[in-house]
Structure formats: structure tokens, C-alpha cells
Amino acid sequence: MTATTTQPAPPRATGSRTAAIAVASVLAALSLASGALGAVSLWADSQRDDQGYFSTGTHRYTASTSALTTEDIDVDADVPGWVAGDDDIYGKLRLRVSSHDGAPVFAGIARTADVERYLSGVARTEVSDIETSPFHADYADHDGTLRPAAPSSQGIWAAATEGAGSRTLDWDVQEGRWSVVVMNPDGSRGVDADVKAGVSIGFLAPLGWSLLAGAGLLLVGAAGVGYAGLRRR
């Protein structure tokens, strides 16, 4: 007579249990990412100055031509209105400008197409690749023979300032393609200006807290799904 040994059936992991653990892992990873982004947003918001701006130092820009212009600034950020508020989606730009020798100076911002029409045929210098620490900027001269009309006589500016001493330009950033222009008020050649730039981004704090709240909800969801999956038999 042959004795037989009966082996106990191995436990079987159900498909629903495996899926629950996988879902919990994904939710936990999303929670970690959302929490990290929220913390970074709140940290960045804390770096603003006492007027609420992220500002550069004051740097000197010079040109032998009639105008200093920035390269095309393309504003197109997909920030939902519920995060930033419909009137503050793109933030605010502030420029503090003064002539290096104390003479009057003009600074303005306008749509790039309007600036190009205004300065068509005028010698100008485009500033690009600006680095602030340490300061460095690339200059590209564009030839021209015409003397421009006084910049203040043009109706193209979304924001502008003119005069002696330190001048402040404030602009509520709008969608589109824009250029900053610094000139002598009479359009003459030889621009020498000290410029400090700042930007205020109002949605960083609401975005940070929203991401942290989302991270908490995802973590709770991950814990719930994981617990439900582990207790399944």
C-alpha cells in the first residue's frame, strides 16, 4: 500500500489585489510629485522682495545706436484662471530705469510688430541672452540711417515712462509678443542706461497650496486603496 502526501494548495494572489496595490503605488508617486512641486512653488513665492517682486540687480546697458530693444518676448502661459485669477494670470513687470549720466531717459514696452514698424530704418541694438549672476548680455546691432521720432509721440506703448532720475515702468503682463525699448527722449544716438527688472507672479502661493492639498488627497487615496487591496483574501 502506497502512502500519499497531500500538499496544501498555494495561496493565490487575486487580480483585484494586485491591481489595488499597483493603483496605490501610482497614487503615492503622484502624491510625492505634487507635494514636491507645491513646496517648490511656496519656496519660490517666499523669495519675493518687500514689494512682492522677484528682482534682478541694477545693470548697465549701452548702445551707440538710437535704441536698445529686447528680443521678442512671447507671452503665452497656460495658467488656469481659477489658480491665478482672471486679472493676474501673467503677473506684473516692473522696470526701474535711469540714464547712467543722469540725463533724461525713455523706457516703454509695446507689441513687437509695432516696435519694428516704429524703428524701421533706424539703427538699433537688440539685447539677448541676459544672465544676471554674473551679469552678461549679448548685443546685436541693426543698421539704419533714419532718426526716429520722439518715442513719447508714438501711441504704441502698453506702458512707458520718461524723465530724469530713476524712472519706474509698471506693466500688467498680457498675452502676445512684446519688446522693451530704452531710448533717449529725443531719439538721438548713444543710449547708456542702468536697468533693474522685476516680475510679480501672483499665482505661486495659490498654486503651491493647491498642489499640497492635492498631494494630501492623493496620499489618503493611496492609503485607502492599498489597505483595501492588502486585506483582500
All domains in the chain, ordered by first residue: 15-44+207-230 (no CATH), 50-202 (2.60.120)
For the ranges 86-100, 161-175, 185-199, the lowest mean pLDDT is seen at 86-100
- Say if strands 124-132 and 67-70 run parallel, antiparallel, or are unpaired: parallel
Cell numbers describing residue 76: 503665452
What percent of the chain stands above pLDDT 70? 70
Q: Whose CA is closest to 197, among 49, 1, 79? A: 49
Q: How confident is the model at residue 126 (pLDDT cuts 50, 70, 90)?
A: very high
Hey, how many other C-beta atoms are within 10 angstroms of the C-beta on 188? 12
Q: How confident is the model at residue 204 (pLDDT cuts 50, 70, 90)?
A: low
The per-residue pLDDT for 233 is 52
Q: In this model, does residue 163 exceed pLDDT 80?
A: yes
Q: For the whole model, what pTM was predicted? A: 0.65
Q: In this model, does residue 19 exceed pLDDT 50?
A: yes
Q: How confident is the model at residue 173 (pLDDT cuts 50, 70, 90)?
A: confident
CB half-sphere exposure, 194, CA atoms < 13 A: 12
The per-residue pLDDT for 220 is 77
Higher-pLDDT residue of 10 and 137 is: 137
The per-residue pLDDT for 41 is 59
